[in-house]
A and B are shown apart, each in its own frame.
Chain A
Amino acid sequence: MPRIGVFVCHCGENIAGTVDPAAVAEAAARFPGVVHSVHYTYMCSEPGQNLIKEAIREKRLTGVVVAACSPRMHEPTFRRACAEAGLNPYLCEMANLREHCSWVHEKVPATTQKAIDLVRIQVEKVKRNRPLYPIKVPVTKRAMVLGGGIAGIQAALDIANAGHKVILVEREPSIGGHMAQLSETFPTLDCSQCILTPRMVEVAQHPNITLYTYSELESLSGFVGNFKARIRKKARSIDEKLCTGCGVCMQKCPTKKIPSEFNAGLGMRPAIYVPFPQAVPNKPVIDRANCVFFQKGRCRVCEKFCPTKAIRFDQQDEIIEVDVGAVVVATGYTVKPTSFFPEYGYGECPDVITGLHFERLASASGPTGGVIRRPSDGRIPETVVFIACAGSRDPAKGISYCSKICCMYTAKHAMLYRHKVPQGRAYVFYMDIRAGGKMYEEFVRRAIEEDQVNYVRGRVARIYERDGRLVVCGVDTLLNGRPVELEADLVVLATAMVAHEDAETLAQKLKVSYDTDRFLSEAHPKLRPVEMNTAGIFVAGACQAPKDIPEAVAQASGAASKVAGLFSQDELTREPVVAVVNRAPPPIWSTCVGCFLCESACAYQAIEREEIRTRDGQLIKTVARVNPGLCQGCGTCVALCRSRSIDLQGFTNEQIFAEVLAL
């Protein structure tokens, strides 16, 4: 016979203000199976919890219903109290008299009646509760970081410094990401490479970090603590062990006119190349699509000149399989190309460039050695127009969000240009200046006041070429909306920061969610900013949303600390609210017919196939089995199961029906 205890809480005036707790307790005492029913001002307080503990011991309770606030608030508190008194914590249920009743209703008799009904529902449920035990899963203490930009580098270093193994996967031939391309960084104007390259070297030398560059994630399976990753290590066409990075092959390569990705197409590179001199690792790759040997079958010049005989034309892609316990996704962003803007010349004017191009022009390691020269004729521009919000905040262009970094880098570009070309004129067309951040507003003011950058509030409607210059037609909305026409030598578009073309493919490989702009979705926008909805997968940097370097680094460190937290235990404890396929002795028994509808319904790939065999190994049937490590307890499989063979622990069909029938 069940022996249920009911504990009604006043929550001060929160519940007692509209509900009569004494009447609720009195009514509950008469429910079948209830042997104990009391009310108290603050059930969550020490004396309140003691009421529960004492009752469990003295009345030998088999189930507890606490009629108080939302289980989100205090279920763990009361379950802990029950456990301390020796009752399985999963035999404690809560009736939500506060959010579901007292807060939302008037002080009328019907409110108390509803409270009584809510308690009756839980009493009927708890009678059918079974003791449950937390699920333990082992943890592989090795993390995989996807993306070797600043976010990925930071996350990898932090995890490695916490004493765990890290695999860093980067699809380009070198780590460094966009930050390696930048000239100076706002708001301090410190050189980007100077602060980044030491970190890159640290990654390469860290004993806990295994670096896979020129590699991509092929697939990921498994679950938190127990992922299996397959990584495709693309053929570099060189033997990395033999290559010393001397660079002779690059000098000798006859194909030298390939637009350099690192220089955003402004400079050229050979077919065998390292993206930039500070690359990590400093080992070249052969770009097979552009290599004469791979295309025409003749050449082999690099092979001839390589002093260590490291060239391997016959190298194949390699698939590496590793077990990892956690994944940090830090795959970064890309920028909209100028060809996205028909009104700005469709990318056909060479002197209309993106902010990333300008970074390369301003960078000491760039194609012009840091001298601002326009791409068309190499002249030093006398007038430069910068256009903020090119594409961003423009729903008509399909990008409604703010790219966040452009206000700052545009101010920086204008400032750098004025420093490098003191007689030059810089104009910035803007919508608003969004300079929220430490020393950010001051930085923009410096550009305007000290460096005399002309800020024009208004949009640019059209840019066209006239006699070798660019005519910029816009409007000045602070000057009575007057049209403004400027002749410029160079126009820099702060084009929108967008997700990678293949962001969706990656998200699907990882089975994580993404938003309409194809940025990856964090688990909670405020309180779980580095976790994703799939346990064990974390996010850092601009693949989640546009962000600047300090933010990306902070998020990466946050993700790394989450990983370190996960790895601090040898086993993971999970709530046992998971689906189970019924199996009962003898071991060959199950009502599952093996239709596997549940398999297609499960969003978490938690359904496995299990073969039931007789003792002499004969196959009886194949049934479904739920992997408790992966199951999120959503219950979709329960609803779909045709033979009612699956049930959700803690929320079984029997319990739910009992709740409904109690009304």
Chain B
Amino acid sequence: MRIAYYPGCSLEGSSREYNESLEAIAPLLGWELIEVPDWNCCGASAAHSLNHELALALPARVLALAEKAGFEEVLVPCSACFTRLAAARHALSKDRALAARICELIELDCTGTTKVVSVLELLGRAASDGLAGLVRQPFACKVACYYGCFLTRPAELAVCRRQEDPQEMEELLRVIDAEPIRWAFKVECCGAGLSVARVDSVAELSGRIVEDAVRRGAEAIIVACPMCHTNLDLRRDAICRRRQTEFSIPVLYVTQAVGLALGLSPRRLGLHRHNVPVRLPAREKPEPVRES
């Protein structure tokens, strides 16, 4: 399956391993990722707090480029990028005059024929399309699936069906033999963009998330958003200081978990780039069934 791919800035910088793991699993799942030609910034959180038109024009340009290249769908792994692109598409579809103005600004046609898809959605399709048969190394871990904000909000753009208790990631991870736990913080705020300016807030908010996951026996936290990963992984030292507890639970991208299950090496999946070392509990391989 050929699909347009919009990595955005994070996947080229702070979360290279998300990109690496996605590109590593893509061929195994039969995906051909074609980067959107000449893509630009999605506007992130800066544009829409300053200029409404700019905040729509930037993602609209990406959509228009994908559309021009003839793609029906564009894969957007970063949750923040996803929200910006999906929000722009939604806003333009609701208001024709606005769409005309934005198209004039970007000097391209953006009719909304290209749909925005998340990694979770695409992996969900793979799960119902024989992913289980590809598993070589069952990811037999107790996992806390962490969605954060952008996958469940706002309601009209949400990737997940049940806002307060989404299940998409759990369903996917069960396919690779993980054991998702029930926990209370899967859609709570991680501190998001305050990661740089207010480490104390992030340490408090993300700390609660990590703490609840650990208390309920999770062995790994699974995320699908670069921002979440940054706050739970890169800010772990601040979290531990604030909580005055050592938390060693690793945080994996959902693509890394799937990659491990598909038998890819930790290095190819970029696990060595994490701040918190990824040490998953060793599982004894089930003994081969002997015929008696």
Contacts and interface: CB of A to CB of B under 8 A. Distances in A.
Nearest to A341: B164
Given A464-B212, A466-B215, A342 B184 contact: no
Interface string B204-230: 000000001001000000000000000
Contacts of B185: 464
Contacts of A464: 183-185, 212
A462 B162 CA distance: 15
A342 B165 contact: yes
B166 to A, nearest CB: 9
A70 to B, nearest CB: 44
A575 interface: no
Q: Is the interface of B mostly helix, strand, loop or mixed?
A: loop
Contact of B188 (A342, A346, A462): A462
Contacts of B16: none
A99 interface: no
A347 to B, nearest CB: 11
Nearest to A343: B164
Nearest to A345: B184
A466 B164 CA distance: 19
A599 B185 CA distance: 59
Contacts of A462: 184, 188
Interface string B158-174: 00001111000000000
A348 B215 contact: no
Contacts of B183: 464
B165 A346 contact: yes
Contacts of B163: 342
Contact of B182 (A348, A396, A466, A471): A348
A462 B165 CA distance: 11
Q: Which of B182, B183, B184, B215 has the most CB of A within 10 A?
A: B184
A151 B165 CA distance: 39
Interface in A313-357: 342-343, 345-346, 348
Nearest to B163: A342
Interface residues of A, number: 11
Contacts of B165: 342-343, 346
A451 B212 CA distance: 35
Contacts of A343: 164-165
B212 A342 contact: no
Interface residues of B, number: 12
Interface string A466-502: 1000010000000000000000000000000000000
Nearest to B162: A342
Contacts of A346: 165
A391 to B, nearest CB: 13
A339 to B, nearest CB: 11
Contacts of A345: 184
Contacts of B215: 466
Contacts of B188: 462
A346 B166 CA distance: 12
Contacts of A342: 162-165
A348 B163 CA distance: 18
Interface in B145-190: 155, 162-165, 182-185, 188
Interface string A6-44: 000000000000000000000000000000000000000
A61 B188 CA distance: 83
Interface string A511-540: 000000000000000000000000000000
Nearest to B164: A342
Nearest to B185: A464
A465 B185 CA distance: 11
A464 B184 CA distance: 6
Contacts of A396: 155
A471 B185 CA distance: 12
Interface in A346-400: 346, 348, 396
Contacts of B184: 345, 462, 464-465, 471
A342 B163 CA distance: 9
Nearest to A471: B184
A307 B92 CA distance: 78
A67 B70 CA distance: 72
B194 to A, nearest CB: 15
Nearest to A462: B184
Interface in B114-148: none
A346 B186 CA distance: 14
A495 to B, nearest CB: 16
A473 to B, nearest CB: 9
Contacts of A466: 212, 215
B207 to A, nearest CB: 14
A465 B216 CA distance: 10
B186 to A, nearest CB: 10
Contacts of B182: 348
A396 B163 CA distance: 11
A279 B165 CA distance: 41
Given A342-B162, A464-B185, 7 more contacts: A343-B165, A346-B165, A348-B182, A396-B155, A462-B184, A466-B215, A471-B184
Question: 5 tightest A-B contacts by CB?
Answer: A464-B184, A342-B164, A342-B165, A343-B164, A342-B162
16 contacts: A342-B162, A342-B163, A342-B164, A342-B165, A345-B184, A346-B165, A348-B182, A396-B155, A462-B184, A462-B188, A464-B183, A464-B184, A464-B185, A464-B212, A466-B212, A471-B184
